[in-house]
Amino acid sequence: MTPMFAAVILETRNGWRALLPETDKLAQMAYRIGLTLAVAFVVQRLLFLAAARIERVVLRAGGDSEAARQRARTLNLVIRNVVTTLVIAGAFIRVLAVLGWNIQPLLAGAGIFGVALGFGAQTLVRDIIAGVFILTENMFSVGDLIEIDGKPATVESITLRITTLRDFNGYVHFVPNGEMKTVTNRSRGWQRLAVDVPVATGADFDAAIGVCRQVAKEMNEDPAWRARLMDPIEVWGIESLTPTDATLRLVLRAHPGPDAPEVSRELRRRVHSALARAGHRFSAGRELVLSPGAQPART
């Protein structure tokens, strides 16, 4: 080996020795880093247990209802996300200190960054504050069907900054919490639906209303549907009247979810069948004509 190459190898070894700490210090640093990670893991688990306890408290306070269950689950998810972020940030700063980094400038820079964030990222701060109020005031929870700007969608997740929604078509919408001005929650308390039945103007309205009342009575007494109603189905009568047809309105009230839509569909089917059997026409402008051996045609 030439003297030049020997000098290069010696210089490289000395450089690595200068970069790496001594063996005993390296082992001590590894021990301290491992202890930091272990403590961070234990702290995270303990805070997760506290979040689970908070979830149970919220659930008991809400009477173990579905709304309370959704709110408790949402709070648990948010708390776990915040805890994970803070624990990782704290562990990262501690590891840097163990490695010999001067974290004072880093902390000072974080403070300056926070001030700059307050002035330059006002939208982000607004979204976070709005997210806090959404959670504390229980406006909606994961699983609720809400309506924003006239568009209904189901809440899939809530964070302090953004709410994730999925609409009927399966499209996912990411809405900043600060952008929600008016939110309509369709999953709280009860839901009322109106079933409108068109009847030709020349029909016997009293007879048609009697048919609707009979159908409503049968459904109110049917055990399969009575359990899904909060109140008996009501027949309000004639809702509107035009030169060609009138609209009879029936109203039902049920729990949020599939009960009200499914009851209304069954009610429409039964009312249509009953009125058809009674010979009532649904519109004065359309009449069904059947010829022997011919297919039904509209005239």
Statement to judge: residues 180 and 154 lie in one domain: yes
- 40 lies in which domain range? 23-120
Q: Quick count: other Cβ atoms within 10 Å of Cβ 72?
A: 23
In a domain, residue 164? The reply is: yes
Query: Do 293 and 281 contact (CB within 8 A), yes or no?
Result: no
Task: Please check the confidence at residue 60 and state whether its pLDDT lies above 60.
Answer: yes
Q: How many domains does the chain fold into? A: 3
pLDDT digit string, tens, across residues 166-180:
998 999 999 999 888
Output the pLDDT for position 20: 52
Residues 144 and 115 in one domain: no
Report the range of poorest mean pLDDT among 63-77, 204-218, 267-281.
63-77
d(CA 299, CA 142): 51
Residue 240 inside a domain? The answer is yes
Q: For a pLDDT cut of 70, what percent of the chain falls above it? A: 78
- Residue 4 forms part of a structural domain: no
- Helices 122-136, 66-98: crossing angle, 10 deg rounding: 140
Is the CB of residue 193 less than 8 Å from the CB of residue 260? yes
Write down the mean pLDDT value for the chain.
79
Whether residues 112 and 32 fall in one domain: yes
Closest CA to 226 of 253, 257, 197, 189: 253
Say what the pLDDT of residue 22 is.
Answer: 60
Q: Is the residue at 47 inside a domain?
A: yes
Average pLDDT of the residues in 51-77 = 77
CATH code for the domain of 107: 1.10.287
Residue 261 belongs to some domain of the structure:
yes
Residue 211 in this model has a pLDDT that exceeds 50? yes
For residues 40 and 18, the model is more confident at 40
Are 196 and 226 part of one and the same domain?
yes
What would the mean pLDDT of 217-240 be, rounded to a whole number? Answer: 90
Residue 178 lies in a domain: yes
Q: Is the pLDDT of residue 12 over 70?
A: no
CATH code for the domain in which residue 221 is found: 3.30.70.100
pLDDT above 70 for 116? no
